[in-house]
Structure 1
Amino acid sequence: MSLLMVMDGQGGGIGRAIIKRLRDAFGDEIEILALGTNSVATSQMMKAGANRGATGANAIARTAPEVDVIIGPLAITMANAMMGEVTAQMAEAISSSKALKILIPLTQERVKITGVSAEP
């Protein structure tokens, strides 16, 4: 069984949508861990069907090296992103993990991703 980590912050809407679609596609064939930068984000992802959830920098730093896949917005790899919610420790843990990273090219930071068109 694959172990997936979905990470989100702020209101948790992106993470919630990811987990809902993963559950619809794979059912109980995968284990999903919801890791939030805050408790609201974690709670929203748990409601969408995550198996387990945790909040904060230490939880993310301890979990990221143990999973097979990490999914979330691009901002999870950037220190101080999401209005400061993503700490340097969080970004380093995600970036350094050997897990496959599936990053959604959404960010409110001053970053342009070449080759990706902006859509509403």
Structure 2
Amino acid sequence: MRVAVVDGQGGGIGKHITVKLRAELPPEVEILALGTNAAATVAMLKAGANEGATGEKAIIYNAPRVDVITGSVAILMANAMLGELTPAMAAAIADSPARKILLPINKAGVEIVGVVPEPLPHLIDALVRRLKIFYEGGNRKNV
């Protein structure tokens, strides 16, 4: 299974996701760090991603080539992350057939009704649990 972790700015959220995924998932699971900038990509690579790529072209190219995409819900929104996430990046992620397991972080001005605010470490733990269920369940689309 290939998992893409998408992040921008300093890559802090992506770094934390990558650390948890590396610790919780089997070593054969490939983690691909996709950063909107080099700093984000480097942070995720240092956290244990197998490979990394940076920028719009890298995200557009790789989004349909992974099984799961993780990050904050902002990666689906054009011009999120202070404009680093381009409309083309958001479209490529949204259009990808990959399962999207996203954190409901409200920095993009979007509120998801029914989601209880949680600290980031709890959200990342929940994301990793969902990804493990997806992985162990044979990549079923209804998980």
Give TM-score, length-normalised by structure 2: 0.81
- Indicate whether 1:74 and 2:73 are aligned: yes
Alignment partner, residue 30 of structure 1: 29
Amino-acid identity (%): 57
Alignment partner, residue 43 of structure 1: 42
Give TM-score, length-normalised by structure 1: 0.96
Between the aligned partners of 1:54 and 1:71, the Cα distance in structure 2 is: 15
Between the aligned partners of 1:6 and 1:87, the Cα distance in structure 2 is: 16
Deviations 1:50-100 (A, max 9, x none): 000000000000000110000010000000011001000100000000000
Between the aligned partners of 2:25 and 2:56, the Cα distance in structure 1 is: 28
1:38-117 equivalences in 2 (<5 Å): 38-117=37-116
* C-alpha deviation, 1:110, in angstroms: 1.6
* Structure 2: segments with no counterpart, 5+ residues: 120-143
SS of the residue aligned with 1:32?
A: strand
More helix by share: 2
Runs of 4+ in 1 over 3 A off after TM superposition: none
More strand by share: 1
